[in-house]
Amino acid sequence: MKTIVTGGAGFLGSHLCDLLLSKGHQVICIDNMVTGSERNIEHISSDRFTCLKNDVTKPIYFGDRIDYIFHLASPASPVDYLDLPIQTLKVGALGTYNMLGLAKEQGARFMLASTSEVYGDPLVNPQPEEYWGNVNSIGPRGVYDEAKRYAEAITMAYHRYHGLDTRIVRIFNTYGPRMRLNDGRVVPNFIGQALRGEDLTVYGDGSQTRSFCYVSDEVDGIYRLMMSDYTLPVNIGNPEEHTILEFAKIITRMTGSSSGIVFKELPVDDPKQRRPDIEKARKLLGWEPKVGLGDGLRETVGYFQKIPGKSQGKSHP
């Protein structure tokens, strides 16, 4: 089985490459390293693994047959897509178009890595796949939200018009080793601040909620969906919901930090709730998360403790 993973040197992509290799796939990682890192894949020594430094917004051709394409390439944290708005839109549109074209040419099964952000600031909780969302298309976060919504639309167009074998996974907040400490998402942001003894930054009053899925559970769900025969979107995430303020207190306890908490203004269009309805994943894939928050955070904190300097960049929730 020859499999492409775009964005394969990113946090989630690199873990997916590991899983695919463990299941016997020949893996071609494609990444332009704008938000990915060679450090995430340097541990891979398999002769079944190849990394190509390439930009999927430009056409890519393969002479050999490709069986599966996992399209994960995209900036995925607010820090990245607010800094790279045009690139985010291009990879969602042109990148998805190019990889769908490659899948059509090769007869490959294609998976789009979509996101819970297609639901925007949801008016229902938890969010089922049938919910159409509440998205501000012209707000600062719209570059990511709408890039993924467009990517879903063109994926379904290729499925219906060309008969392409496609899958769509809607990924909810995921955490674990290989996240960038300064990528601005809540888990590395809080852990980095706690390890440095700084006050934890909570936006708004901290009552907004998130649900956190450990990376091994996430990639297992992604793989199961690809190998299923279901073609409509499926949520993969952990339905256990925590307020941001509660989560900040969990991190300070777990790290043994004496850090306090400071409150800052909530960013524009920051969702008040984020929690997946995973009944489809349970019924169709036999999947649900197994790793508890405590176990997952211990692994993640341990990873960040080994990072020299524990430097911190800009942060967003």
DSSP of 106-165, one letter per residue? Answer: HT-EEEEEEEGGGGBS-SSSSB-TT---B--TTSTTHHHHHHHHHHHHHHHHHHHHH---
pLDDT in tens, 188-241: 999 999 999 999 999 999 999 999 999 999 999 999 999 999 999 999 999 999
280 part of a folded domain = no
Query: Which residues have a Cβ under 8 Å from the Cβ of 94 and sit 6 or more positions away?
Result: 56, 57
For residues 231 and 206, state if they share a domain: no
For residues 24 and 117, state if they share a domain: yes
For residues 244 and 231, state if they share a domain: no
pTM for this model (two decimals)? 0.94
* pLDDT, mean of residues 52-76: 94
Catalytic residues: 144
Task: Retrieve residue 252's tokens.
Answer: 């300070």
CB of 211 within 8 A of CB of 237? yes
286 part of a folded domain = no
pLDDT in tens, 78-87: 889 999 999 9
**pLDDT band at residue 314, thresholds of 50, 70 and 90?**
very low
Tokens 């938890």, residue located: 126
Task: Specify the higher pLDDT residue, 306 or 278.
Answer: 278
If you ran DSSP here, which 8-state letter would residue 221 be given? H
Q: For residues 87 and 71, what is the distance between their CA atoms, to the nearest angstrom?
A: 15
pLDDT in tens, 97-151: 999 999 999 999 999 999 999 999 999 999 999 999 999 999 999 999 999 999 9
For residues 224 and 81, state if they share a domain: yes
pLDDT in tens, 88-100: 999 999 999 999 9
For residues 198 and 295, state if they share a domain: yes
317 part of a folded domain = no
The total domain count for the chain is: 2
Query: What is the domain-level CATH number for residue 71?
Result: 3.40.50.720
For residues 131 and 16, state if they share a domain: yes
pLDDT at position 317 over 60: no
137 part of a folded domain = yes
User: What domain range includes position 193?
Assistant: 181-211+240-275+291-310
Query: What is the domain-level CATH number for residue 302?
Result: 3.90.25.10
Helix (H, G, I), strand (E, B) or coil at 55: coil
Helix (H, G, I), strand (E, B) or coil at 251: helix
83 part of a folded domain = yes
pLDDT in tens, 143-186: 999 999 999 999 999 999 999 999 999 999 999 999 998 888 89
pLDDT of residue 310: 53
User: What is the CB neighbour count within 10 angstroms for residue 182?
Assistant: 17
